């Protein structure tokens, strides 16, 4: 009986295609006709808060970026911290004239949020995700070609909303590299290794963003060159017993397995739901500092996660977050230590941002023609048994014999639960890394 009910509520709540509710498309289900006769859905009060609405917009940019990256590497793991990319782009739009500004704003979905003061709301969003209790440090920086003269009318609002001053290269490669390294080290409290790569000589505009979470155990580091740099260690709320970690099979596909260290918790309290449309089991685990991670695990072993990826939007994730129910489960998760490095340039070019790399109008920055040049993203991710505490405080939950084994390809989404901001997204096809 309980099993049936569990399936029923998940089917009812997650299985009606709420995922298809992306930009503009009215959802089937609960249409309310408005005065024009077009059915519109009543907006969730959560998204009426300007900061949350902005977080949803830039996170939707993040899901887009993820989809493009993932489709470019169908057989490899993917890791991204889209927030840092979005922040750098949003800051850059301060220097863009109308045509270029609306190119950036469309990619970030600002055209849909009807907010006359995006940049000061962005300041509030950054203040929220970097509030002291979250232990997240975030900063970004715009770097310009050597000896460029820039307008103070660009610098002042940049500093006011994004808290960063632009950097103009000196043209001395060693000194420039050292200065960038020092800045990154200062922003991340030394958590990101110094880069030895040269600063590209053909830079016109280079964007750099840094985010860092203080904490131990579950640690996520992101290093992105050219565009953005992040380092994020968070923590499981409940730590894993390392004596229960053992070597187990991970199914790469229907035929191949690899043996990897898997952490397990026979009595984990997770938030869970079965999405019958996506044919996948969704679980959420809390992290410290109002963060959480949501896993998407197909019901059959497959490397083709396209259907799940296509459904990822801020609105869909928000629905999931509300509808999942606490259950006790036998949980296994591979220990992970991955790093990933790649260009985001091509991905951004596929996202209607090509014109930023060709002939954009940044005349609010300087009289000289400028363009975005190269964009790279380097990420690393690690999680292990450590967590904040050993005693789960279960609270009300369903007791139901449930297994949740992340022993086959899956997707995870790491969010700030206060604002819904997407901080990290990944596709894990092989936990040994690529
Ligand atoms: C993945 O699955 C989708 C349908 O869910 C299908 O359209 C697509 O062709 C598949 N891709 C691959 C590479 O098999």
Domain membership of residue 4 (yes or no) is: no
Range in 5-9, 263-267, 301-305, 343-347 the model is least confident about:
5-9
Other beta carbons less than 10 A from residue 418's beta carbon? 18
pLDDT of residue 67: 97
Tell me, yes or no, whether 282 and 308 share the same domain: yes
Domain membership of residue 168 (yes or no) is: yes
Tell me, yes or no, whether 296 and 397 share the same domain: yes
Overall average pLDDT of the 216-234 stretch: 38
pLDDT at position 229 over 60: no
Is the distance from the beta carbon of residue 306 to the nearest atom of ligand 1 less than 6 Å?
Answer: yes
Q: What is the pLDDT of residues 370-398, one digit of tens each?
A: 999 877 676 666 777 877 665 555 566 66
Q: What is the pLDDT of residues 308-361, one digit of tens each?
A: 999 999 999 999 999 999 999 999 999 887 766 656 888 999 998 999 999 999
Domain membership of residue 348 (yes or no) is: yes
Instruction: Please state whether beta strands 205-213 and 229-233 pair in parallel, antiparallel, or not at all (unpaired).
Output: parallel
Domain membership of residue 304 (yes or no) is: yes
Atom of ligand 1 nearest to the CA of 74: 13
Range in 122-131, 192-201, 351-360 the model is least confident about:
192-201
Domain membership of residue 410 (yes or no) is: yes
CATH at 305: 2.30.39.10
Atom of ligand 1 nearest to the CA of 307: 5
Distances (CA, A) of 115 to 49, 123, 127, 295: 11, 13, 18, 32
Overall average pLDDT of the 8-16 stretch: 35
Is the distance from the beta carbon of residue 277 to the nearest atom of ligand 1 less than 6 Å?
Answer: no
Q: Which ranges of 35-81 would DSSP assign to H, the alpha helix? A: 50-72
Domain membership of residue 399 (yes or no) is: yes
Tell me, yes or no, whether 132 and 249 share the same domain: no
pLDDT band at 177 (very low <50, low <70, confident <90, very high): confident
In the three-class reduction of DSSP (H, G, I as helix; E, B as strand; rest coil), residue 118 is classed as: helix
Other beta carbons less than 10 A from residue 408's beta carbon? 21
Q: What is the pLDDT of residues 402-412, one digit of tens each?
A: 999 999 999 99
CATH at 118: 3.30.497.10
Tell me, yes or no, whether 254 and 372 share the same domain: no
Pairwise CA distance, residues 398 & 327, whole Å: 5
Tell me, yes or no, whether 186 and 99 share the same domain: yes
pLDDT band at 2 (very low <50, low <70, confident <90, very high): very low
pLDDT band at 221 (very low <50, low <70, confident <90, very high): very low
Tell me, yes or no, whether 57 and 196 share the same domain: yes
Pairwise CA distance, residues 215 & 295, whole Å: 21
Distance of CA 267 to the CA centre of its chain: 29
Total-model pTM: 0.84
Residues 6+ apart with CB under 8 A from 278: 19, 296, 307, 308, 311
Overall average pLDDT of the 7-13 stretch: 35
What percent of the chain lies above the pLDDT cut of 90? Answer: 51
CA dihedral sign, ordered 389, 391, 394, 400: positive
Pairwise CA distance, residues 311 & 98, whole Å: 32
Domain membership of residue 107 (yes or no) is: yes
Domain hosting residue 396, numbered range: 242-334+387-428
pLDDT band at 40 (very low <50, low <70, confident <90, very high): low
| Total of domains in the chain | 2
pLDDT of residue 237: 80
Overall average pLDDT of the 268-297 stretch: 93
pLDDT of residue 341: 61
**How buried is residue 188: exposed, middle or buried, by Cβ count under 10 Å (0-12/13-18/19+)?**
buried
**Which residue's CA is the closest to the ligand 1 atom numbered 10?**
304
Pairwise CA distance, residues 386 & 41, whole Å: 42
pLDDT of residue 192: 59
Tell me, yes or no, whether 346 and 198 share the same domain: yes
Question: What element of type H or E holds 341?
Answer: strand 336-343
Tell me, yes or no, whether 169 and 227 share the same domain: yes
Mean residue pLDDT of the chain comes to 81
Tell me, yes or no, whether 170 and 309 share the same domain: no
Neighbouring-strand partners of residue 415: 292, 422
Tell me, yes or no, whether 79 and 154 share the same domain: yes
Cα torsion at 220, 225, 226, 227 (round to 10°)? 0
Tell me, yes or no, whether 422 and 274 share the same domain: yes
DSSP label of 254: S
Q: What is the pLDDT of residues 49-65, one digit of tens each?
A: 999 999 999 999 999 99
pLDDT of residue 295: 97
Domain membership of residue 290 (yes or no) is: yes
Mutate to test the pocket of ligand 1, among 299, 304, 307, 411 (most ligand atoms within 8 A of CB): 304
Tell me, yes or no, whether 132 and 231 share the same domain: yes
pLDDT at position 190 over 80: no
């Amino acid at each position: 009986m309980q099993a049936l009910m569990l399936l029923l509520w998940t089917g009812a709540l997650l299985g009606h295609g709420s995922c298809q509710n992306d930009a503009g498309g009215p959802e089937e289900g609960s249409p309310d006709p408005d005065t024009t006769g077009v059915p519109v859905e009543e907006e969730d009060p959560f998204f009426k808060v300007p900061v949350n609405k902005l977080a949803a917009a830039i996170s939707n940019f993040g899901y887009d970026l993820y989809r493009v990256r993932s489709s470019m590497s169908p057989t490899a793991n993917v890791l991204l911290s889209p927030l840092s990319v979005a922040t750098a782009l949003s800051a850059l739009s301060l220097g863009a004239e109308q045509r270029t500004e609306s190119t950036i704003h469309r990619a970030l979905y600002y055209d849909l949020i009807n907010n006359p003061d995006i940049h000061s709301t962005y300041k509030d969003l950054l203040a929220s995700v970097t509030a002291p209790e979250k232990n997240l440090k975030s900063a970004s920086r715009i770097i310009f070609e050597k000896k460029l003269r820039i307008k103070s009318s660009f610098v002042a609002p940049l500093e006011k909303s994004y808290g960063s001053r632009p950097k103009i290269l000196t043209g001395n490669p060693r000194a420039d590299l050292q200065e960038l390294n020092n800045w990154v080290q200062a922003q991340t409290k030394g958590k990101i290794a110094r880069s030895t790569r040269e600063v590209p000589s053909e830079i016109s505009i280079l964007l750099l963003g840094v985010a860092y979470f203080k904490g131990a155990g579950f640690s996520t580091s992101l290093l992105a060159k050219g565009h953005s740099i992040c380092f994020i260690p968070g923590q499981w709320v409940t730590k894993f017993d390392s004596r229960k970690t053992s070597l187990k099979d991970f199914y790469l596909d229907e035929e191949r397995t690899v043996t990897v260290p898997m952490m397990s918790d026979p009595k984990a309290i997770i938030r869970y739901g079965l999405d019958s449309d996506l044919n996948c089991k969704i679980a959420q685990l809390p992290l410290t500092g109002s963060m959480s991670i949501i896993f998407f695990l197909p019901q059959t072993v497959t490397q083709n996660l396209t259907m799940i990826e296509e459904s990822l939007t801020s609105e869909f994730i928000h629905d999931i977050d509300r509808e999942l129910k606490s259950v006790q489960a036998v949980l296994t998760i591979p220990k992970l230590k991955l790093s990933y490095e790649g260009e985001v340039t091509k991905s951004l070019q596929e996202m209607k941002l090509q014109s930023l790399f060709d002939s954009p109008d940044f005349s609010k920055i300087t009289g000289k023609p400028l363009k975005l040049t190269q964009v790279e993203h380097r990420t690393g991710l690690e999680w292990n048994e450590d967590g904040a505490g050993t005693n789960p405080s279960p609270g009300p939950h369903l007791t139901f014999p449930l297994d949740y084994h992340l022993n086959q390809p899956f997707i995870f989404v790491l969010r700030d639960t206060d604002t819904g901001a997407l901080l990290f997204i990944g596709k894990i096809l092989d936990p040994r890394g690529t």
